Chains A and B, each alone.
Chain A
Amino acid sequence: MSEPDRTTLPIRRPPFGGVSNRTLDGSKPDWNLIGHPEPPEGSPNVLLVLIDDAGFGNPSTFGGPISTPRYTQMAEAGLRYNRFHVTALCSPTRAALLTGRNNHAVGFGSIGELSSGFPGYTATVPRDCTPVPRILAENGYSTAAFGKWHLTPDGQQGAAGPFDRWPNGWGFDYFYGFLGGDSGQWDPCLAENQKIIGTPEDFYDKENPYYLPDAMADKTIEWLHGVRAQDARKPFFVYFSTGCSHAPHHVAPEWADKYKGKFDQGWDRLREEVFARQKELGVVPADAQLTARDAAFPAWDQVPGKLKAYYARQMEVYAGFSENADYNVGRVIDAIAELGELDNTLIIWIWGDNGASLEGAITGSFNELTMQNGIPLTDEMQLQLAERYGGIGAWGGQMMDPHYSAAWAWAGNTPFQWGKQVGSHLGGTRNPMVIHWPARITGTGALRPHFTHVIDVGPTILDIAGLPAPSHVDGIEQEPFHGVSFADSLTDPAAPEHHTQQYFETMGNRAMYKDGWWLAMKTPRIPWVLTPDALRPYAPGIWDPDTDPAELYYLPDDFAQAKDLAADHPGKVAELRELFWAEAEKYKVLPLLATLSAFFGILPPMPDAVPVEYRGDVQNIMSGMIPRIYNHSYAISADLIVPAEGAEGVIVAEADHLGGFSLFVADGKLTHTYSMMGVFIYRQQAEEPLPPGEVNVRMEFAADAAKPATGGEVTLYINDRPVGKGRMDHTVPIRFSAYAGMDIGRDNGGVVDLSYEDKKPFAFTGTVKKVIFDVKPHLSAQDEEALHAVAQHGHAGHGLSA
């Protein structure tokens, strides 16, 4: 069979080469007709690993404090790349990784949940930028993705799709993981292919509870075995994208306890220790300077002594969580080795997608969503809330959704400044990469200092697989890759750098790199601060980006960006600033801060506020898709059938005890529990039992006013008769959960009211015929518009923390 034309996908079948007579007499079959595309002979398997929210200075492989033996094993038998770059945010890096194009150009200027009306921010990949997994699949690869996805808009994560925005639509034959930006590792709400499958049954196994990192490895190995059971030769492409090390930092104590006492020296000293090891390893040049601590981060010495154990435990858990990721990636590698295929498997392992995350603010939090919901808690308050849910020994367990302090993240980004969201500096844009491919890499254990970028990975994979970038897919002319292959650097340490110019932009923080020079243009806003005062300078008509501070670095002489040369080279500053604007226009970066447009009065059309009905068998509605009940009055009504002997269980519940609500029946009485992010818990109960038969129950929340986080009065009704009431002083303004879903007739995953924890999921023992949310009681048109704006602010705020 001749080599097919792979520039046009799907590959066209060859014309029938046999003979079809009127009968079989003289007829000759053409067996090529029933074949399927195959990649070129010798095309390797590919395992692409992406760790989440981690920094250059985290893994021990790059001098960090976190033990990563499997990563080191791959590096010592492969190559370390110490000038590999990412965007400074989750979805944008993933979009760039999987498309080989700049993130804005494929609609991912921001995170997947956030679609806006500007081309660079739609969260919808254009059809002229076909993703790499689709290209591989069309060329005969088996493709699968496991773990974090984060490339599907928030409102499209249900049974109605559209599924071209789900992993299968991007070209993966199989997907097992979560669609959002983060997930609990104990109680995820998962998707498998094109269905939300919710929290796995093993979650309810107290002796051997479900743990997503383990399950990801199990599922990957199972999938590999399945592929090989069918086809001994077909190469695979596995995208193994861990939820680790993104918050919530969930890991069993035995992993975290390995690090007891290892961080008692604090973040300042930790940076110095890591930096010294980085120089010893050679991943940082000997002449590099460690960058200084910005005033946004407190010195460790300023932390009150009584709180040091609280802070240290945050990092212990993060470290254990990260080491567990190394372990589970190792299990997948072992499985490939056991199949006898490690030699010809190209492993590209990227440790972090945007530097370590600063989104825990300085205090860190027992619940990552407290920050997004604008609840300013001191570190002492955070500690007490941690105590409420088991104490710092339980940090990382099922009762909390923790995030560590931004100062630990800064230490994790050693030797650089800043971190996630800060696209202007290397703390948010430079991460470790290790490549392992025994079949071709001979100078093992070496360092590659080539400037490389996440958009180069796709073109490199295709280059190595011997596949061209298609000019047309599904009849649509394709935009060429923006990245360039660095495949030659795998075998040739003297290979030239191909990637000589790159823009960076995240949340208005910008950089322009060209031929070693790096112009950093950071907005003065501290990344985790979104107050009106902090945003005010960026309002339309006020902000002039060219007046932002500009720093100039020459990276060949200054690995860590420690020496600002802007004052000495004004001409270079001007040149790179102009080049940035040109690149920004070319790649749809403009308008800057489109991600925050909702804060400045640019809002999407108002959605319909009709009552939302759910039948009794609806489960696992993703947290971004629940009815808009925030910040105003609303009512939840349910039609039930209660057996003569009575009933108990959940009628409707969203999320869990760290933020959510549940309308349920306990001890025969209608009960409503509302968790304001685990900080305030409110409960109201009917004063009389639920009668048997067909019953309508209702919970009405009468808000004090249509305003963020409004308090209000709750009234419970049975058949339109008030039977109970209570007050909620504070309500959730933005979002209950980043990942936990809403269920009718049960409370899947973690439960809202811990009084029924032992009975979870506490399914209703009668019948829930339907549940109706009325999200528009008492709202004036003016209120509705104001709340629409608030909802969009919240959406944007969530986006900044995802």
Chain B
Amino acid sequence: MAFDDETIDVLIGGYMSKDAAQDDYKAVLGSGGYLHGAVVVSKDLEGNLAVEQTDHMVREGAAGLGALGFVVGLFAPPLLAATAVGAAIGAGAGKLLHRKTENKLEQQAGATIPLGGAGLIVAYPHSAAGKVQPAVTRAVSKAVGEAEGHHVQALKAAIADAQQKMAGSGS
């Protein structure tokens, strides 16, 4: 079966450093798996954006990954309890144990790359998943979406699927 007839997988990864995203980006390129394209975007602490991509689909006449928009749901560490973040325990007599610290911060940080953060999108035919996915080892949040068909519409659908999974994971 030709790659173009396969399900497209899209892996998106979020990172807290450019270095980590670059490591995975290089690892993906060196994984030996066929890639439709890969793009890594990072934002430094002053807000300057850096983009690096090897986007085969551009050559193939389809829209590149970058052109599809770079929306990666990055991590949002849950600010749980830990050191006292409001852990009112045992009201007076100690009979009631409240957990006031739980909040909604597990939810995604948003759709943009934060200052100092980075993101990676890799698109590949499903048959390459066994080589590509293990190469991504440093993402602090990661999701894989998939969609039937090929070219732009399938790619968009796969990205949307990945984003949905990432949001759903609470990572």
Contacts and interface: CB of A to CB of B under 8 A. Distances in A.
Interface stretch (A28-36, A714-722, A786-794): A786-794
Nearest to B21: A384
Interface in A454-478: none
B79 A532 contact: no
B118 to A, nearest CB: 9
Contacts of A539: 89-90, 94-95, 97
Residue with the highest number of chain A CB atoms closer than 10 Å, among B18, B88, B109, B138: B88
B95 A734 contact: no
B98 to A, nearest CB: 8
A401 to B, nearest CB: 16
Nearest to B115: A681
A110 interface: no
A374 B82 contact: yes
Given A380-B140, A539-B97, A786-B100, A600 B77 contact: no
A800 interface: yes
B94 A376 contact: no
A380 B138 contact: yes
Interface in B79-94: 79-94
A245 B30 CA distance: 42
Nearest to A680: B114
A531 B82 contact: yes
Contacts of B89: 532, 535-536, 539, 599-600
Contacts of A786: 86, 88, 100
Interface stretch (A119-127, A385-393, A487-495, A509-517): A385-393
Contact of B81 (A374, A383, A707): A374
A281 B169 CA distance: 54
Contact of B105 (A380, A536, A730): A730
B32 interface: no
B152 to A, nearest CB: 31
B92 A391 contact: no
Nearest to A373: B83
A137 interface: no
Contacts of A801: 83
A541 B82 contact: no
Interface residues of A, number: 60
Contacts of B101: 374, 532, 708
A372 B97 CA distance: 21
A601 B45 contact: no
A599 B81 CA distance: 12
Contact of B94 (A540, A682, A707): A540
B90 A542 contact: yes
B22 to A, nearest CB: 10
For chain B, the bracket of interface size reads 35 or more
B52 interface: no
A601 B89 CA distance: 7
A733 B87 CA distance: 12
Contacts of A375: 77, 79, 82
A709 B81 CA distance: 11
Nearest to B83: A797
Residue with the highest number of chain B CB atoms closer than 10 Å, among A383, A539, A682: A539
B62 interface: no
B115 A384 contact: no
B76 interface: yes
Contacts of A372: 83
B140 A378 contact: yes
A793 B98 CA distance: 14
Interface string A242-269: 0000000000000000000000000000
B171 to A, nearest CB: 11
B63 interface: no
Contacts of B20: 380, 383-384, 387
Interface string A660-684: 0000000000000000000111110
Contacts of B99: 532
B75 interface: yes
A733 B85 contact: yes
Contacts of B47: 683
B105 to A, nearest CB: 6
A601 B100 CA distance: 13
Residue with the highest number of chain B CB atoms closer than 10 Å, among A383, A391, A801: A383
B46 interface: yes
A381 interface: yes
B110 A729 contact: yes
Interface in A375-419: 375-378, 380-381, 383-388, 391
A541 B75 contact: no
A679 B75 CA distance: 11
A447 B91 CA distance: 52
Contacts of A789: 86, 88
Given A530-B82, A532-B101, A708-B101, A384 B87 contact: no
B78 interface: yes
A540 B114 contact: no
A358 to B, nearest CB: 13
B16 A800 contact: no
A536 B46 contact: no
Contacts of A679: 16, 77
A469 B25 CA distance: 70
Contacts of A680: 109, 114-115
B127 interface: no
Contacts of A657: 45
Contact of B82 (A371, A380, A388): A371
Contacts of A540: 90, 92-94
A707 B88 CA distance: 12
A796 interface: yes
B14 to A, nearest CB: 10
A381 B140 contact: yes
Contact of A388 (B84, B90, B91, B116): B116
Contact of A541 (B94, B98, B110, B140): B94
A388 B45 contact: yes
Interface in B47-75: 47, 75
A374 B84 contact: yes
Contact of A374 (B79, B90, B109, B138): B79
Given A374-B82, A375-B79, 4 more contacts: A374-B81, A532-B98, A729-B110, A793-B86
29 contacts: A373-B79, A373-B83, A374-B80, A376-B78, A376-B82, A384-B15, A384-B20, A387-B18, A388-B116, A532-B87, A539-B97, A540-B92, A540-B93, A599-B87, A599-B89, A600-B89, A600-B90, A657-B45, A680-B109, A680-B115, A682-B115, A707-B103, A708-B85, A708-B100, A729-B76, A754-B45, A755-B45, A793-B85, A797-B83
